[in-house]
Chains A and B, each alone.
Chain A
């Protein structure tokens, strides 16, 4: 059975979309990761235009992060001041990202930028996952412990920055420029690659800002919710690239998949699965990198500019 996507202007097999959405949702529930970094490249693989894949994925990320942030708010694990500063940076970042996306699109380099972005991004995420879980599987001390042991307070240069702000919940007194620039980078990623950016933000909040771990996830989800919402709104207004039919299909099945995954995660051995996910993510990165390096089967391509 096929369904016509009004904004992507293409007809897709509804079962392919549903199984992709369900599978990515399952993985995101199982591993507690946002599914955007898998979903966006998959959508591009099945022929959805990159702009529509990114815009739609941003809208879908709103759905998956909203329930998360509400759960964390109930447990009072959200630093609203920090969230607001991160979000402000995120809005600026995603604004710049949407603009940059358009410039690159009319120059014909958007596909390359997205591919390159994913090669780096998936390469980093995959390596981290392996680094974190392989020692556990091989019965050694996890790297994460070694990293955390360094703790905050060592980065003296950061404490010389101006515009210091007090963040009560995080019990921090740091320059607002730090969370602003973290938020900016994440916003850029959201607008250009359709990912939530949690993978970048969470370690930055722990190791760079020195935030207490229990408020990190909730606060990052707060930022992701607002920044992806802002990015989706901008993509819809500027590029008309949010496909609501595709977004609804993905989020309905994705939400179910994520809940099933979350339930499964308590029953299966996490570390072996993390190794497998890490390997899978690395494989996608290598595959994308390979496509960039080998001679293309057809050097010519259509559109991407004013013509299409």
Chain B
């Protein structure tokens, strides 16, 4: 964290100087561009910081890699409950968070938020395959948002951005332990008088690093069979060793 603050201060100095020199209305960056999921990973905060050339409102949107997601609904079959209908939503962000320096409604027109998909309720989802009535699809959509929120992957609320002297801003982006891997897009918007006057996109890479990455790649790659073989031999060997050791004791 301390290293993050030092980096923040140092880069911020450069960034403001840069902004003034080139007359760029908005600059932003992340303290790290890589979140490494190592064996001890329990979630992390990444610092986002930046500067503007004058008063305005800042909105940050973080989107995880888009994936298809299946939502299922249980129904009653005799005495037991089992999954009945399912709806597949195409290209849903696997992670989503919004932060701003004050409530969005105070400065951003709803239409603009909707167009840019800012706010959990504005995420566009189209279901594929199944034909399901529109009002029912809405229930599935709501369930998806609710379950993702329960998993800490979506946040229904809007996070805080600290804005200093109407120039500098910073916020901590939280990524929980179950964060999906892939390339994330951190979008930073500068709002002025109900318009987006400037925007910047900073990519963030979340990937497995070290031994856990190697195990994952081994298990999912072309040599999955040999991974399995290794696991079985390791298990068998451990059992044999344990048996031999305890026979002597």
* Residues of A near any B CB (own CB < 8 A): 1-4, 6-7, 9-11, 59-60, 62-68, 70-71, 108-109, 112, 116, 225, 229, 232-237, 240, 242, 244-245, 247-248, 251-252, 255-256, 259, 292-296, 298-308
Between A and B, 22 residue pairs with Cβ closer than 8 Å are: A2-B41, A2-B177, A4-B212, A6-B215, A6-B216, A6-B219, A9-B178, A9-B216, A59-B235, A60-B235, A66-B240, A67-B244, A108-B70, A237-B224, A240-B219, A292-B81, A299-B73, A300-B147, A301-B147, A302-B69, A303-B69, A304-B70
Contact status B224-A302, CB under 8 Å = no
Select which of A70, A229, A245 is within 8 A of B243 by beta carbon: A70
Q: Which residues of B contact A232 (CB under 8 A)?
A: 228, 231-232, 235
Interchain CB contact under 8 A, B81 and A295: yes
Q: Residue-by-residue, is B189-231 near A (CB-CB < 8 Å gives 1, otherwise 0)?
A: 0000000000000000000100111011001100011011111
Query: In the docked arrangement, what's the CA distance between A54 and B67, Å?
Result: 26
CB pair A6 B212 closer than 8 Å: yes
With A300-B140, A300-B147 known, 16 other A-B pairs at CB within 8 A are: A2-B42, A4-B38, A11-B178, A62-B235, A62-B236, A63-B238, A109-B83, A229-B232, A236-B219, A244-B234, A259-B242, A259-B246, A300-B71, A302-B148, A305-B70, A307-B88
Identity of the chain B residue whose Cβ is nearest the Cβ of A67 in the assembled complex = B243
Which residues of chain B come closer than 8 Å to A295, judged between CB atoms?
81
Chain A: which residue is nearest B75 at the CB level?
A299
Scoring B69, B70, B227, B231 by chain A CB atoms within 10 A of each residue's CB, the highest score goes to B231
Q: Which residues of B contact A68 (CB under 8 A)?
A: 243
How many angstroms between the C-alpha atoms of A131 and B75 in the bound complex? 36
B6 at the interface (CB under 8 A from A): no
CB distance from A214 to the nearest CB of B (A): 20
- Chain B residues with Cβ below 8 Å from A251 are 235, 238-239
The residue of chain A having its C-beta at the shortest distance from the C-beta of B39 within the complex is A4
The winner among B86, B227, B239 for most chain A CB atoms within 10 A is B239
CB within 8 A of A307: which of B67, B80, B235, B238? Answer: B67
User: What residues of chain B lie closer than 8 Å to A296, measured between beta carbons?
Assistant: 74, 81
Question: Is the CB of B133 closer than 8 A to any CB of chain A?
Answer: no
- Answer whether residue B68 sits at the interface, using C-beta atoms and an 8 A cutoff: yes
Chain B contact residues: helix, strand, loop or mixed: helix
CB of B70 within 8 A of CB of A293, answer no
Q: Which residues of B contact A303 (CB under 8 A)?
A: 69-70
* Chain A hits for B140, CB < 8 A: 300
Asked whether A10 lies within 8 Å of B86 as measured between CB atoms, the reply is no
Q: How far is the CB of B209 from chain A (nearest CB, A)?
A: 10
Contacts of A237 in B (CB 8 A): 224-225, 228
Q: What band does the interface of chain B fall in when counting residues whose beta carbon is under 8 Å from A?
A: 35 or more
Q: Quick check: B239 and A66 within 8 Å, CB to CB?
A: yes
Chain A contacts of B147 at CB under 8 A?
298, 300-302
CA distance A108 to B73 in the complex (A): 10
**In whole angstroms, how far apart are the Cα atoms of A187 and B233 in the complex?**
19
- In the A-B complex, the 3 residue pairs with the smallest Cβ-Cβ separation, listed nearest first, are A67-B243, A236-B228, A300-B143
> Residue B62 at the A interface, CB < 8 A?
no
Q: Chain B's nearest CB lies how many Å from the CB of A268?
A: 19
Residues in B with CB closer than 8 Å to A298 are 143, 146-147
- The minimal Cβ–Cβ distance linking B125 to chain A, given in whole angstroms, is 12
Q: Are B239 and A71 in contact, CB atoms less than 8 angstroms apart?
A: no
B82 CB–A CB distance under 8 Å = yes
Within 8 Å of chain A (Cβ to Cβ): is B188?
no
A11 to B212, CA, bound (A): 11
Shortest Cβ distance from B228 into A: residue = A236
CB distance from B107 to the nearest CB of A (A): 34
Q: Nearest residue in B to A255 (C-beta to C-beta)?
A: B242
Given the complex of chains A and B, what is the CA–CA distance between A305 and B37 in angstroms?
A: 25
Q: How far is the CA of A298 from the CA of B242 in the complex (A)?
A: 45
Q: Decide if A65 touches B238 in the complex (CB within 8 Å).
A: no
For A255, list chain B residues within 8 Å (CB).
Answer: 238-239, 242, 246
Q: A6-B216, A9-B178, A301-B147 are in contact. Are A252 and B231 (CB under 8 A)?
A: no
Most buried by B among A116, A235, A252, A302: A302
Contact partners of A109 in chain B: CB under 8 A: 82-83
**Is the Cβ of B242 less than 8 Å from the Cβ of A307?**
no
Contact in complex: A66, B236 (CB < 8 Å): yes
Closest to A112 in B: B82
Partner of B234, one of A234, A248, A300, A305: A248
Residue of B nearest to A115 (CB): B80
Question: Chain A contacts of B108 at CB under 8 A?
Answer: none
B212 to chain A, nearest CB (A): 4
A11 — which chain B residues lie within 8 A by C-beta?
A: 41-43, 177-178
Instruction: Tell me the complex Cα distance, A162–B147, Å.
Output: 55
Q: Which residue of B lies closest to A295 (CB)?
A: B81
Chain A residues within an 8 Å CB radius of B80:
112, 116, 292-293
A304 near B242 with CB under 8 A, answer: no
- A302 & B231 in contact (Cβ 8 Å cutoff): no
Query: B69 and A308: CB pair below 8 A?
Result: yes
Tell me the bound Cα distance from A299 to B212 in angstroms: 34
Q: Which chain A positions have C-beta within 8 A of B72? A: 108, 300-302, 304-305
